[in-house]
Amino acid sequence: MWPAPCGRSSMSNYVNTQSMQPFGVSFAKQFRLLDRDEYWVDPDNARFASCDPSQDMIKCSMK
């Protein structure tokens, strides 16, 4: 039992620094967008149901 109302755990520096390591190695390099990169949105995808692709400026909420 803890003498305080809440307990605190610690993690090693290795665990702390490695937890997001795969993000920078593969995910970010593959999926990041840089200035002026082209991309596309599939308005038939249910996540983009609020998009109206008939407009000149398309504003979407991804759900």
Write down the residue that tokens 């490695």 correspond to: 18
CB 48 within 8 A of CB 62: yes
pLDDT at 25: 76
pLDDT at 7: 62
Task: Express each pLDDT in 26-63 by its tens digit.
Answer: 777 777 778 888 877 676 778 777 778 788 887 777 66
The pTM assigned to this predicted structure is 0.28
Can you read off the two tokens belonging to residue 17?
A: 């620094």
pLDDT at 5: 66
pLDDT at 2: 56
pLDDT at 3: 66
